[in-house]
């Protein structure tokens, strides 16, 4: 695998590459901070204990994204010790990974658990998650085309370190008010909390999750920043959630691209109903087709519940099998 990019290699990128290299007993060339060209030649996928630590607030969730598909085809269980930022900007919060990504990817036959041992925030990181992954013989296709009705809305609004608890309350209050403008008949249960012993550094944020009657899960989230009022953070998360349930799809805009590789690897035809197809998803489809020879099609949904921006992503997976089973 060769990757050339105008952006130089950063510590979190290098940590992910080294993690994958270790799992697949591969050879990594150009693996140094500042490099713009990297070559990874994979070998045999190896079970066991693997650790990744960028020593920054590099996203733990992104480290899991690159390592989980490899660990699934190992010759035994794997334990991934992932360190860095658990709630980082421009990446899925660990709460999203556990509450949204995990239950949906399990529909493919994936089995893993996440032990959240310490939360870490920008800029130092310091978070730690241990994921235990069970190997599979092959992945099953999924059919997620019936959204149903939204049946539950809940969330988590938090502050950590030296930040005052009032920020968590203000974020939750604003988010609840915004959601109630559109969804009036459901109780919205957003827990507010102040993290102390289980957090490294200071930070604040919110994640709001909606579940449907057919098992679809959506989320909206936001992190606080210096100079940004908590009302704005809560508003951003609520609007993100509402945007992702208005199109009557079955996955949100952030889960789309995370499922593409599993669709490509599965044995059979997978179909997922979604809202507007993101650039991340289009890129993931292109890369997956190049690497696996899987075939994707994206078409507009034409049923009575579809809006102008509702789509069906379909994939004929290649049915990769684990040679150790």
Segment 303-316, tens digit of pLDDT:
877 778 899 999 99
Average pLDDT for runs of 10 along the chain of length 325: 56 88 93 87 94 92 95 97 92 95 98 95 92 98 96 96 95 98 95 90 95 97 94 98 95 97 98 97 97 96 82 97 91
DSSP 209-263: EEEETTS-EEEEEEE--TT--HHHHHHHHHHHHHHHHHT--SB-TTTHHHHHHHH
Of 282, 289, 281, whose CA–CA distance to 264 is shortest?
289
Residues of the chain within CATH 3.65.10.20 domain(s) are 2-134
Check residue 11 and give its pLDDT: 81
pLDDT for res 302: 87
List, by residue range, all CATH 3.30.360.20 domains of the chain: 150-246
Q: For residue 7, what pLDDT is reported? A: 65
Residue that is written with structure tokens 């998650």 in the block: 129
Kindly report the CATH class assigned to 150-246: alpha beta
Active-site residue, 247 included: no
The CA-atom distances, in angstroms, between 107 and each of 210, 244, 309 are 18, 21, 25
Catalytic residue among 13, 111, 247, 280: 280
Per CATH, the number for 2-134 is 3.65.10.20
CB atoms inside a 10 Å sphere around CB 213:
12
pLDDT of residue 5: 43
């Amino acid at each position: 695998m060769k990757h050339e990019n105008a952006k130089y290699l950063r510590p979190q990128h290098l940590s992910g590459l080294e993690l994958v290299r270790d799992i697949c007993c591969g050879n990594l060339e150009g693996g140094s901070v500042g490099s713009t060209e990297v070559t990874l030649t994979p070998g045999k996928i190896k079970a066991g204990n693997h650790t990744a630590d960028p020593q920054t607030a590099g996203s733990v969730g992104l480290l899991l994204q690159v390592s989980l598909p490899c660990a699934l085809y190992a010759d035994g269980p794997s334990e991934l010790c992932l360190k860095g930022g658990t709630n980082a900007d421009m990446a899925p919060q660990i709460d999203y990974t556990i509450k949204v990504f995990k239950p949906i990817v399990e529909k493919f036959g994936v089995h893993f658990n996440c032990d959240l041992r310490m939360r870490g925030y920008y800029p130092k990181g310091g978070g730690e998650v241990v994921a235990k992954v069970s190997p599979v013989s092959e992945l099953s296709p999924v059919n997620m085309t019936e959204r149903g009705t939204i049946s539950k809305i809940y969330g988590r609004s938090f502050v950590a370190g030296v930040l005052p608890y009032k920020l968590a309350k203000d974020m939750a209050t604003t988010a609840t008010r915004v959601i109630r403008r559109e969804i009036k008949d459901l109780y919205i249960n957003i827990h507010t909390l102040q993290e102390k012993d289980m957090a490294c550094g200071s930070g604040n944020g919110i994640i709001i999750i909606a579940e449907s009657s057919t098992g679809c899960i959506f989320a909206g989230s936001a992190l606080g920043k210096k100079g940004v009022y908590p009302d704005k953070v809560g508003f951003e998360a609520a609007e993100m959630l509402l945007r992702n349930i208005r199109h009557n799809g079955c996955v949100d805009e952030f889960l789309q691209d995370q499922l593409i590789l599993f669709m490509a690897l599965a044995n059979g035809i997978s179909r997922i109903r979604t809202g507007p197809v993101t650039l991340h998803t289009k890129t993931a489809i292109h890369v997956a087709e190049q690497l696996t020879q899987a075939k994707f099609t994206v078409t507009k949904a034409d049923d009575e519940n579809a809006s102008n921006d509702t789509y069906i992503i379909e994939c004929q997976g290649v049915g990769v099998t684990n040679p150790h089973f």
